[in-house]
A = this chain, B = another copy of it.
Amino acid sequence: MSSQFKGRVLLAYSGGLDTSCILRWLIEQGYEVMAYIANLGQEEDFEAARQKALKVGAIKVFVEDLRKEFVEELVFPSVQANAIYENIYLLGTSLARPVIARRQIEIAKQENCTHVSHGCTGKGNDQVRFELAYLALAPSIQIISPWRLEEFYTRFPGRQDLLKYAVDNQIPVSQTPSKPWSCDDNLYHISYEAGILEDPNVTPQKDMWRLTVDPEDAPDTPEFIDITFTKGIPSRVQNKADNTDISEPLDLFIYLNNAACRNGIGRLDIVENRFIGIKSRGCYETPAGTILRVAHIDIEGLVMDREVRAYRDEHVSLQYGKVLYNGLYFSPEGKLLKNIVNLTQDCVNGVVRIKLYKGNVIVLGRFSESESLYDMEESSMDVQGGFEPKDSEGFIKIQSIRLKKYGRSL
């Protein structure tokens, strides 16, 4: 507790046991510590966390409401992109990290901090995501990553050691028994991993899921919602049953989240590949994100040119998903891909009508007043509109030139 002054650290603080111990330990090592709490909509008593940080020894605490920029700058563009990781994961944790890191660096600069710190483990994706963002935004910032420091992780080999340290240092400890898994939540999603979930064949217990109701417990009658997209961004949500008509992005997103949660929508249980080349099992809930993905893909069917859509599917969605997953949002390729996504969304204007029912997001129909790629007469099988059937003849014959040669070699 008596080392020389080593610098000023801005610590990403959660209010939990780990970062509270880290806060105190950093002070012990000779750092002056400020705590930074990002509000991304997670379930948390932010005021209690602030008081706790001060009690543990932070000289200053920042509680920052980042929900709006999270939804507008990260979540909605990823809906536009149909961003996805390994076919299935909607990138909940990944999307939060850039927003958290960016504000942390802003405050660190403003408060003349020499260091930033976080409580991520040394085997996960989040250490990479935070630190690549820190270094892109402040190339000369120094990073303290306690769970990668031998002096730290050998001192705290298990949870009991942290608890003992907390008690020894008058750090308040939650009386709630800890769960046999860890979780991370924000407005967009919650993730569960580690502990008993590490066996990929163990079915999560029913009470693990915190956001959504079990589909089996969801209402027996469906709900009907209309979602309007403007340039691929959800811009309006309507529900006649409860007179909902919302356009403000954050409110709209929260409304969809609630609707999804009460209808049991958005659960996922997968084994994924971390950037740190190991496999890991995660369970996720992404309520509104799941609805928006279905609706966005649907409206694109109506209004997007075939080749632009194919290009985006082949060359953008997976790539952008990977960039986000790997913590490369603040990178040349991250910027490029986000700009490309925008280039594809000018025409994505229209309304999708959906039904929510016990885990299902069912599309009932869609229309667009401004876009006109869909042509009822032309696509009709009944009328001779749009083009001559004999045009298809030439089309097929030209396509077959190559194939006839192939056929000769069969």
Interface residues of A (CB under 8 A from B): 82, 86-88, 121-124, 127-128, 131-132, 135-139, 145, 147-148, 150, 153, 158, 182, 193-195, 198-203, 215-216, 220, 222, 267, 269-274, 276-281, 297-298, 301-302, 305-311, 313-315, 318-319, 322, 328, 330-333, 336-337, 339-340, 343-344, 353, 357-360, 362-367, 372-376, 378-382, 384, 386-408, 410
Contact = CB atoms under 8 A, between A and B. Distances in A.
B86 A313 contact: yes
Contacts of A271: 298, 301-302, 366, 374
Nearest to A396: B131
Given A128-B396, A358-B360, 17 more contacts: A86-B310, A87-B297, A123-B387, A139-B405, A158-B382, A201-B365, A216-B222, A271-B298, A271-B366, A271-B374, A272-B301, A277-B399, A305-B333, A307-B328, A308-B336, A311-B336, A394-B394
B397 A148 contact: no
A276 B359 contact: no
Contacts of A386: 123, 278, 401
Contacts of A195: 382
Contacts of A388: 122, 394, 397
A297 to B, nearest CB: 5
Nearest to A159: B382
Contact of A360 (B193, B194, B215, B373): B215
Nearest to A352: B201
A406 B305 contact: yes
B332 A343 contact: no
Nearest to A157: B384
A36 to B, nearest CB: 20
Nearest to A381: B194
Counting chain B CB atoms within 10 Å of each CB, the highest count among A136, A153, A353, A410 belongs to A136
